[in-house]
């Protein structure tokens, strides 16, 4: 009789282990599915949200600013451009602020502004844009060449305030933009080159 009970108990344990194994497999699949959904949530913006006209400015004074103007022209998005615009110039006439982020020592020197002063200008712009409830699109299209300590100083506050971000993938090899987009709960579009940034930029505007 005792032997029968031992056999029965062993059978019950085996059945329990099998059920636990199935449960763990299902749990892992669910976790993977949730992770996939999370990754998709930070993919390219699926619906147009930005109103026109736009105001585009350079954060860090890189030459990438000129390239984004070309993309806006191709997309037929009305805009004004001012690489050194200050917060007091934001009056609500522009509905979307496009920030072309990427530091250039040469560009800062030519503009006659220090990196510290540029950061102060940036922070004031972001504060005023928030007050005016403007949409903010961050663009980093210089790739790895526009990364580094100075650029990252500008990237972080801009991403924290952004509504959407478009980056050339080589500029996110360390995952900084992906991490900041996740924290800000915004969509992040990655493209392989500058010319490819035009499509997600155009699609963002209503």
Q: Exposed, middle or buried by CB within 10 Å (0-12, 13-18, 19+), for 3? A: exposed
Fold of the domain spanning 54-204: Rossmann fold (3.40.50)
DSSP 50: B
Question: What pLDDT, on a 0 to 100 scale, did the predictor assign at position 52?
Answer: 98
Q: Exposed, middle or buried by CB within 10 Å (0-12, 13-18, 19+), for 151? A: buried
DSSP 160-176: HH-SEEEEEGGGGTTSH
CB 188 within 8 A of CB 198: no
Question: What pLDDT, on a 0 to 100 scale, did the predictor assign at position 5?
Answer: 46
Cβ neighbors of 37 (< 8 A, separation 6 or more) are none
| Residue where the block lists tokens 């147009």 | 48
Residue 9 tokens, joined: 């108990």
Question: What pLDDT, on a 0 to 100 scale, did the predictor assign at position 44?
Answer: 58
The C-alpha atoms of residue 81 and residue 33 are separated, in whole angstroms, by 43
Question: What pLDDT, on a 0 to 100 scale, did the predictor assign at position 202?
Answer: 97
pTM here is 0.78
The C-alpha atoms of residue 121 and residue 119 are separated, in whole angstroms, by 5
How many angstroms separate the Cα of 142 from the Cα of each of 48, 71, 127, 148, 157? 24, 14, 25, 12, 18
Half-sphere exposure of 39 (CA within 13 A, CB side): 8
Half-sphere exposure of 181 (CA within 13 A, CB side): 26
pLDDT digits (tens, 9 = 90+) for 66-108: 999 999 999 999 999 999 999 999 999 999 999 999 999 999 9
- Domain residue ranges of the chain, discontinuous segments joined by +: 1-41, 54-204
Question: What pLDDT, on a 0 to 100 scale, did the predictor assign at position 46?
Answer: 63
- Compute the 3-state secondary structure of the chain and give helix, strand, coil in percent, each to the nearest 5: 60, 15, 25
Closest CA to 74 of 202, 206, 204: 202
Half-sphere exposure of 75 (CA within 13 A, CB side): 24
Average pLDDT over residues 159-176: 98
């Amino acid at each position: 009789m005792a032997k029968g009970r031992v056999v029965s108990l062993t059978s019950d344990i085996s059945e329990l282990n099998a059920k636990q194994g199935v449960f763990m497999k299902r749990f892992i699949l669910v976790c993977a599915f949730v992770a996939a959904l999370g990754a998709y949530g930070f993919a390219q913006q699926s619906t147009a949200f930005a109103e026109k006209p736009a105001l585009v400015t350079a954060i860090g004074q890189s030459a990438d600013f000129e390239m984004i103007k070309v993309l806006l022209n191709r997309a037929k998005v009305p805009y004004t451009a001012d690489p050194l615009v200050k917060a007091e110039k934001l009056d609500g006439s522009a509905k979307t602020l496009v920030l072309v982020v990427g530091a250039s020592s040469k560009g800062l020197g030519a503009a006659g502004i220090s990196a510290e002063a540029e950061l102060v200008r940036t922070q004031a712009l972001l504060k005023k844009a928030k007050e005016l409830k403007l949409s903010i699109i961050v663009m980093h299209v210089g790739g790895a060449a526009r990364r580094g300590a100075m650029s990252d100083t500008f990237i972080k506050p801009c991403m924290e305030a952004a509504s959407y971000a478009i980056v050339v993938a080589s500029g996110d090899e360390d995952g900084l933009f992906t991490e900041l987009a996740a924290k800000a709960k915004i969509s992040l579009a990655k493209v392989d080159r500058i010319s490819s940034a035009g499509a997600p930029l155009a699609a963002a505007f209503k």
